[in-house]
Structure 1
């Protein structure tokens, strides 16, 4: 099975997700500095979601750059990841509009965590499709940063659930920013 159609569909859905998120940014009816300051939760939610979706897209792009074949399982796991990501604009808008209430941050963090888990499953399926000793599998072995992100996201979810959603959101921001640190720093430790 060719990878081109999967990449084209995926790129299109990522673009739609980002477009939907930006459309949730509402123009203030009274354009004063105070009205813009009052919008900080909405903008912060959007910025972090844009970062997460962008990082997810970049990871997907790098992953599929070296893919030579895909299986039916890969197609459906990829679709599952896109489905989860398609819920991010809703969770982003809800979290921003409600100034980071606990349930909204919990749902948001849960979506990010589930997306990371599904992406890890996608990588492992692709490794199995290419063979354990393939160049592809050797390139994508080791997932310490991914596992660390899952654990830290889960901690953020618990922190939000016990009543500290802004701290949880801050942790989610730090986790997303950590993906700018090269993987070899994590894999060699």
Structure 2
């Protein structure tokens, strides 16, 4: 199977997701700075979701840059990830429009958790296809960061559910920031190729 079609489809879906999120911004009918300031919850929700989708895209890109082939299991694992990711615009808009209400942040954190779980499944399927002793598998072995992310996102969902949505939202921001730390095994592999 051709991995390029999977990558192109995934890139298109993620681009549409970001486009839908930005279209959720409602233009104020007022020209005052205050009317823009009143949009801060919507903007902050959008900013975190933009970063999250961008990080998902970047991780997906690195994964398939290294992958040599795909099979039907990978196609459907990828579709599962895109399915959960496609709920991001809805959860983002609901959370921003309701100024980080408990239920909205809970749902948002659950969706982020499901996205990361599906990414874990995708990585696992790719490692199984390439062989656990392959260069690919050695580059993406160890799921520590993924497990920590799932745990922290799930913790954020619980914190929000029990009435502390802003603390949960801050935890989600900090968790996303951790993904800016590069995978040194991947970086070393890219350097070795040059």
- TM more than 0.5: yes
Equivalent residues of 1:145, 1:183 under 8 A apart: no
Say yes or no: does 1:165 pair with 2:165: yes
Question: What are the within-5 Å matches in structure 2 for residues 1-80 of structure 1?
Answer: 1-80=1-80
Gap regions ≥5 residues in structure 1: 185-189
Say yes or no: does 1:135 pair with 2:135: yes
CA distance in 1, matches of 2:157, 2:63: 28
Cα deviation for residue 182 of structure 1 reads 2.7
Q: Secondary structure at the match of 2:180?
A: coil
- The equivalent of 2:116 in structure 1 is 116
Cα deviation for residue 51 of structure 1 reads 0.2
CA distance in 2, matches of 1:54, 1:23: 17
CA distance in 2, matches of 1:57, 1:92: 17
- The equivalent of 2:92 in structure 1 is 92
Gap regions ≥5 residues in structure 2: 185-194
CA distance in 1, matches of 2:10, 2:149: 23
Aligned residue pairs total 185
Q: TM-score of the superposition, structure 1-length normalised?
A: 0.95
CA distance in 2, matches of 1:54, 1:182: 14
CA distance in 2, matches of 1:126, 1:153: 24
Q: TM-score of the superposition, structure 2-length normalised?
A: 0.93
